[in-house]
Structure formats: structure tokens, C-alpha cells
Structure 1
Amino acid sequence: MAAITMYELPGCPYCAKVRSKLDELELEYDTIEVPRSHGERTEVEEVSGQTGVPVITDEDNGIDGMHESDDIVEYLEETYA
């Protein structure tokens, strides 16, 4: 199991942006596909306090439920580039 977990929805352009950065930095990560219905996204809501995606957690750096693709990309660049 990787330290980074990404909650995503297939076809989401914001998720694709984060996934591209993770791949560019050659980071290992797990993905969890969330349901299309926001009302059924209980797992990501428990982690982040909201139902939007993408959301990442990074156990190695104490990141629980970071959301907003621009913030995630900036975090990944600052932490792993």
C-alpha cells in the first residue's frame, strides 16, 4: 500500500491534472474511485469533510484530506519535486 491515496472520479479533469503530476513525479499512489452521486461519497467526506474530488492523503507527511487540484499539485511539487 502506497503512502499517497487519491480519491477520484473517472473523467474528472481536475483528477486528471493531479494524476498527471503524480505520474510525472513518479510517485507510487493508490486510487479510490468515488461514486458519481455526491450523496454516496461517504468515504471521501469522512477523509476531507466534503464530497468533491480530487482529494489526496499522504500518510508520510500527515496530509489528511487535501482537496482542490491546484493546491494538491503545488503540494506535490513542493514536497516531492
Structure 2
Amino acid sequence: MTAVDHDTSATLTLYRLHGCPYCERIARRLDRYGLPYTSRFVAGEHSQRDAVAREAGTRSVPVLIDPDRGVTMAESGRIIEYLDATYGGAGD
């Protein structure tokens, strides 16, 4: 499944930065599990990342929001662990 900016069936939201290898790692894991998600691309400058700061309390990406489970988290390693534990799988 491919991420789209306005996927009405998606419940997961991934805040990401173009060209960020950590963000791409999360996107690949979401795709592996066939999870629909919405990508929200952020500005390159931390000072311009107000939307993600409001949602997650951080200006760093990636950030994954899973509202169905009340989860908002940053840091790619933690996000991968969460996706594996929640949606099945055993790491890379």
C-alpha cells in the first residue's frame, strides 16, 4: 500500500522529511505490513516544524501517530519496535 497525503482510510500519520533515511525506514515498514497511512512532510528547518511540534511535542522526525491506540512517538528505532509488536513481525 502506498502512502498518500489525503488517504481517508488511513488512521496512522507519519510526519517525515524528504530524503530522511530514518523516515524512509518507517515508511517501508508500514508498507511491509500493508498499513494505510498519511504522510505529512515537514520543512527541513526545525524552526519551521510547528505542525509536528503541536502534535508530538517535538520538532524531530520521524513521528508516528496511531490515534486508534492513543500512541504518538518519535525516534525510528522505537517506532519500528512498536510497529513490529503491534502489527506483527520480527524486525528487519
**Structure 1-normalised TM-score?**
0.95
Alpha-carbon distance between aligned partners in 1 of 2:54 and 2:71, rounded to the nearest angstrom: 14
> How do residues 32-71 of structure 1 correspond to structure 2 at under 5 angstroms?
32-64=40-72, 66-71=73-78
Give the paired residue count.
80
Alpha-carbon distance between aligned partners in 2 of 1:23 and 1:14, rounded to the nearest angstrom: 14
Alpha-carbon distance between aligned partners in 2 of 1:50 and 1:9, rounded to the nearest angstrom: 14
Gap runs ≥5 in structure 1: none
CA RMSD between the two structures: 0.7
Q: Choose 1 or 2 for highest CA Rg.
A: 2
Q: Deviations over 1:15-70 (max 9, x none)?
A: 01101100111100001000111101001011111111000100111112x00000
Larger relative contact order (CA 8 Å, sep ≥ 6): 1
> Identity percentage over the alignment?
41
Higher helix proportion (structure 1 or 2): 1
